[in-house]
Structure 1
């Protein structure tokens, strides 16, 4: 009945309803509701959607969004955001913005005005620009890294994905070494091997992932760490270890060490050799608090009976078949009743999933023939691994990662 009633509404009715929701959420925000800001963003987007005509929505999607993506990537190379913030954010002409790279002022004008139309820059007058809050964010290398990585690693895959799917008869990609990424980039190996061969993109990836995490709830904000990890911790040998499996260059363990000083057991970072090399160059293991260990998670887990094996954004990189191998290697090393696997990953809603999760799902299909998973898909995956079960799923806020606790049956 609700569907039918909405079908019979006029656009005026739909706009009025959406506007009322914006007013309600705005009032809650002004009254100090901590959750109201996110609700206001959602209702404002709904108001925009209802206010646009279908043709306006079409043009926004096929014209504006691709333009915004490419303009942002070129603007990073042209140092437009950084230059705009220079000299105390004084207004800059196209010529002044172009001077940083000796670029054509005409080209800079075309890129800068596109960024301004997408609110990445403010246009104070004809050909005169000043930074806004987003400009200042993008002027920082760790945030510009997000644009570099997402564009350089996925743009070919996205552009060639329709052709790839047509070539497979529209089958869901499941082979991480023969999917959209390999089709588009003429690359025989996994996207990760391509990434390590492209140092700028590789560095941007690690900087972007670390920076993004600082704006989202930590897994230690969701999971009862003191009750589940600190209490009952055995301090001898491998039993004391918290192992970050496939943990990048160690930011998660560094944050954990700062947040949970009560955890006095070993902290072990496991990664492939080239990533451990990057972590070493960043002095991650210099204090000896974090141990660096070269390990491929498709091989047997060398640390036996650890307190916990942590995986952040690891399993979403792989289809189910490979995930079962990764989990199986860890399960064989676990001590039943003591060890756990802690999976920090997205858990998609079955209906009206968060745009962050949906967007990331497409990125993972483009990069690794993998996916984000719903709660039912997580249970199906874990239960397909002999001897493992989910003990609980912990979440905080829409669009963030959750913490999935897995134990031995």
Structure 2
């Protein structure tokens, strides 16, 4: 298949690359930003997100296409490279320990045991991208961003996800060309597998590269500051789950299916310490064995969600950001196993996933969809897709989709239909 190339008769003139994206929109965007600042409300995060979208639009309006391009392939890729270096060598931990005062490259390099010239180049670029505060030659003051890189939930994403799987994104076009430009839904044939010449899925690949714990840290904290599914603003746990739940000694309250190392169950237990019944964490042995610290109230259970669900009649079965990893035909198996274990009229299935809106999708949702596309040959689903998967294919009933807000996972509450 030939790839189209530009010709002298192409309708796009070269000068377009040097013109701002939409300079005429700048005055209205500035007015919207000013209004957005006035509308900021500490009780909800939505106005801040809207303001951020407007600020991004302002940058796009002022930047030329050429600047946009080099920002992507020089600036942003360079930042990812430099930040990952800092995570791996301990730069961000050291700077956080040093505090907020200005810090010299030579001192940092000496303490870390890295080449001062190498560190100088990396920190210079990070500063040029606005992520450091320059106070003198080769001397920088940390920002909230660089201090946050000290947190495993933030910094470790650069190793456990970006550097470990980035080839899938950068080589996705080659994978797609080989597949005839079709939308792949084969979990055994992904862009990640093609880029790295492996037959391993993403989780196994990252684990075997030595970054399994980094990925777990990222998964445990990528949604810091966002509402959790059990927050009253998202899902009314007391009304929908705790009320009328069995209180017997053997009753199971919540089963977290594919729950990684227990992040969600620990948060739930802290929020609702007196919820009746057992809390059970299920995942593959590879994940269960990586658990370092977990509240003993949470029962660990090695389990493959493609096998029969061993816990019958729980009040709720919870599955978070898992179905988006797999195409419909595999989700059919997962949902069928859960449905077979549910008690009609009592058990609920809570699917904590993004629901892509038909229009005006948030960039975090579409960005995550790109990850699913390149790493799993899967997708984020729209409301129509969820209804098709859950009701038409699995034979469950969606009681309600409880929205988590822009770019945040919703809670899809499901039950077995009464007629069954």
Structure 1-normalised TM-score?
0.91
Residue 175 of structure 2 corresponds to residue 175 of structure 1: no
**Mean Cα deviation higher: 331-340 or 228-237:** 228-237
Cα distance, 1:307 vs. partner? 0.9
Select 2:272's aligned residue among 245, 260, 267: 260
Residue 87 of structure 2 corresponds to residue 91 of structure 1: no
Determine the structure 1 residue equivalent to 2:325: 317
Determine the structure 2 residue equivalent to 1:3: none
Aligned 1:1-400 pairs, distance under 5 A: 11-29=22-40, 35-199=46-210, 201-221=211-231, 222-236=234-248, 239-279=251-291, 281-282=292-293, 284=294, 287=296, 289-400=297-408
Cα distance, 1:57 vs. partner? 2.2
Cα distance, 1:115 vs. partner? 0.9
Alpha-carbon displacement from aligned partner over 1:248-270 (angstroms, at most 9, x marks no partner)? 11121111111113311111111
Is the 8 Å Cα contact of residues 46 and 406 (structure 2) preserved in structure 1?
A: no
Cα distance, 1:144 vs. partner? 0.9
SS at match of 2:299: strand
- Specify whether residues 362 and 305 from structure 1 end up closer, same or farther in structure 2 by C-alpha distance, changes over 3 A only: same
Select 1:403's aligned residue among 399, 403, 411: 411
Alpha-carbon displacement from aligned partner over 1:310-367 (angstroms, at most 9, x marks no partner)? 0011101111111111001111111111111101111112112111111111112222
Is the 8 Å Cα contact of residues 332 and 394 (structure 2) preserved in structure 1?
A: no
Distance 1:31 1:265 in 2: 35
Greater share of helix = 1
Name stretches of at least 5 consecutive residues in structure 2 with no aligned partner.
Answer: 1-20
Cα distance, 1:32 vs. partner? 8.6
Is the 8 Å Cα contact of residues 298 and 325 (structure 1) preserved in structure 2?
A: yes
Is the 8 Å Cα contact of residues 300 and 329 (structure 1) preserved in structure 2?
A: yes
Distance 1:66 1:229 in 2: 45
Cα distance, 1:155 vs. partner? 0.9
Alpha-carbon displacement from aligned partner over 1:135-170 (angstroms, at most 9, x marks no partner)? 111123332112112223321211221111111111
Determine the structure 1 residue equivalent to 2:5: none
Is the 8 Å Cα contact of residues 94 and 105 (structure 1) preserved in structure 2?
A: yes
Between the two proteins, the alignment pairs up a number of residues equal to 395
Distance 1:175 1:23 in 2: 47
SS at match of 2:218: helix
Distance 1:318 1:28 in 2: 40
**Mean Cα deviation higher: 151-160 or 242-251:** 151-160
Alpha-carbon displacement from aligned partner over 1:170-203 (angstroms, at most 9, x marks no partner)? 111211121111111121132222233234x210
Distance 1:78 1:380 in 2: 47
- Specify whether residues 223 and 114 from structure 1 end up closer, same or farther in structure 2 by C-alpha distance, changes over 3 A only: same
**Mean Cα deviation higher: 315-324 or 151-160:** 151-160
* CA RMSD between the two structures: 2.1
- Specify whether residues 227 and 365 from structure 1 end up closer, same or farther in structure 2 by C-alpha distance, changes over 3 A only: same
Distance 2:311 2:23 in 1: 63
Alpha-carbon displacement from aligned partner over 1:5-45 (angstroms, at most 9, x marks no partner)? xxxxx955311111111111122238998643222212111
